[in-house]
Amino acid sequence: MSKIFVNLPVTNLSRSIAFYKALGFTQNLQFSDDTAACMVVSEENYVMLLTHEKFKGFSNAPIPDAHTKTGLMIALERDSREAVDAAATAALAAGGAEPRPAMDLGFMYNRTISDPDGHRWEPFFMDMSQAPQS
């Protein structure tokens, strides 16, 4: 299996580190400094928080304001509906926002949360035994 590193530009690195720690991510100090922080989601998934200056070293495209434009939503599976709600509660307490109401499709439940820079995450729970049959 391949590792996935999601790279996000952030305006305040310490604030972003605190936000993602509140969601239960841990910081890998080996790949962190005053311009970047490696946040561990799981053994195979990581979030790289990069200051705008550092991010611009990897891309010559302009950094959009994620509060007003959405180019990426990251779905993050949780073990239960309660875990989805717990993730949203933690995000809101850590300075995040909930830009739209929860979505309950019966077999799938998700909430949309955004970090302090507006990057959208969607913690979700899916019960495949309840999924519609095609």
Query: In the chain, where are the structural domains located?
Result: 1-58, 65-134
**What is 1-58's CATH superfamily?**
2,3-Dihydroxybiphenyl 1,2-Dioxygenase, domain 1 (3.10.180.10)
The answer on pLDDT for 130 being more than 90 is no
Nearest-5° Cα angle at 44, 39 to 48: 30
d(CA 116, CA 11): 9
End-to-end CA, the chain: 29
- State the pLDDT confidence band at 101, using cuts at 50, 70 and 90: very high
Write out pLDDT tens, residues 29-59: 999 999 999 999 999 999 999 999 999 999 9
Indicate the average pLDDT of the chain.
95
Stretch among 59-63, 108-112, 130-134 having the lowest mean pLDDT = 130-134
CB 124 within 8 A of CB 109: yes
pLDDT at position 56 is 96
User: Looking at the domain that runs over 65-134, which CATH code has it been given?
Assistant: 3.10.180.10
Which DSSP state fits 114?
E
Same CATH fold, 65-134 and 1-58? yes
- State the pLDDT confidence band at 128, using cuts at 50, 70 and 90: confident
- State the pLDDT confidence band at 133, using cuts at 50, 70 and 90: confident
The answer on pLDDT for 131 being more than 80 is no
- State the pLDDT confidence band at 102, using cuts at 50, 70 and 90: very high
**Mean pLDDT across 13-42:** 97
